[in-house]
Structure 1
């Protein structure tokens, strides 16, 4: 008795597996990055034209990714609102604290909800003598006021800023050295006073690359000479990094 011939092409199974893998790759890429639905539609059209599929599958896939993109944007907006709510108590308390310490409102406090941190800007007039990196005696009083707001989960960055005029005389050869030395002096003071551990600290000197004012006047230069302390209150929790002991 003759055997019945099988008309199924054996390559179809392999082809189906390849299509499944291709779809898995697209899903993985979507999960790892922000996907523009229009770009995805163009990619899928190109692939389906090459592979010989119809347009129905393309439209289904595009619609799925459009909905997923809208959901992602909605989650991002909600996350931004949540970040602000979590930072508000810290921000408002710091504003009140430094408003009481400085009747002239020299200290500026601002929110950065996107990066989940608070900035505190101290002008040179209360922090350092001109052209030097030794803390003014009264500046320690301001730094000590940070103690209630810093715990083992927080990370602190000190960022030194200068004006655009070159350094003349003294031990610093450039504004880069001066701004870095001032930031280091702030962190060293916080560590010596026991407010933070070395692992929680970061020193940054940016010289005159991030000015507050572009005016080439004494007032404009004074605004740019400052040191910032940036507090990320939950850095070690949210980044799954072991907190300092």
Structure 2
């Protein structure tokens, strides 16, 4: 009889031993739920401090509270992220504002050039347009050069000189002068291709422009595209005439 009673008493002691750690777990869970309930009313800095303290005290810094702030999970930003976003937004706004100012300045230059064209009755020779690249002045085929030649005609030197005056700007801008031709093969001992002809036309016109002492050559460059950038069909004489041209591209200051 005594043996059975002793065994039963031992089983009861073992069965009650789990109550103490269970109570500890419940206490920790209660503390966790209190923190989770209250964190909607605390800021990110306080939550981070509380999380670090609980994690260190309860589980050596690797506990259940080591996770991102709920304010970030709900779509809100940390102070550093908010500052970064505001900086990026300000940069974008500044860029947009600068582009608007630049567009207005190019429009002012265009009006100046258009006034000159109208005053000198050069509408059939020159035209301007605002493009994504900048302000484009197109000099048509009936100005500057004789057929197959890259030398500026003496009777057109005055027009070239007056164009150079229109390119004097403060502050200065980068300017690209480009030559273009139609697709009719050139038969000329001086030039082996339309590409060479277009390059020399751009360079020779630029030389005339840069005789103006108020222009800095470092802001200028020349290109030749031959027949490879047509603006009209080469199937008609009218289209080929449009493709034979010299272009002066005034770039935005933001691209300098």
Provide the TM-score with structure 2 as the length reference: 0.60
Paired position in structure 2 for 1:226: 245
CA contact (8 A) 2:173 2:252 kept: yes
In the alignment, what sits opposite 1:174?
A: 193
Tell me how far apart the structure 1 counterparts of residues 101 and 222 of structure 2 sit (CA, whole Å): 29
Q: 2:181 aligns with which of 162, 165, 187?
A: 162
Structure-2 separation of matches of 1:80 and 1:151: 18
Distance of 1:195 and 1:218 partners within structure 2: 39
Structure 2 distance, partners of 1:70, 1:233, is: 23
Consecutive unaligned residues in structure 1, runs of 5 or more = 1-51, 240-245
TM superposition score normalised by structure 1 = 0.63
In structure 2, the residue matched to 1:144 is 161
Q: For residues 64-109 of structure 1, what are the alpha-carbon distances to aligned partners after superposition, in whole Å with 9 as ceiling and x for unaligned?
A: 5887776665544433322121222211010110222234432011
Larger gyration radius, structure 1 or structure 2: 2
Structure-2 separation of matches of 1:177 and 1:215:
19
| Alignment match, 2:125 | 106
How do 1:114-133 residues align onto structure 2 when only pairs under 5 Å count? 114-115=132-133, 117-133=134-150
C-alpha distance 204-103 of structure 1, shift in aligned 2 (>3 A): closer
Q: Distance in 2 between the 1:178 and 1:204 partners? A: 11
Shift of 1:228: 0.9
Partner residue, 2:206: 187
Deviation at 1:111, TM superposition (A): 2.1
Q: How does 1:36-47 map to 2 (within 5 A)?
A: none
Contact in 2 for aligned 1:160/1:207 (Cα 8 Å): yes
Which secondary structure state, in structure 2, belongs to the residue aligned with residue 145 of structure 1? helix
Provide the residue aligned with 2:216 in structure 1.
Answer: 197
Shift of 1:123: 0.8
Count of aligned pairs: 184
Unaligned runs of 5+ in 2: 1-65
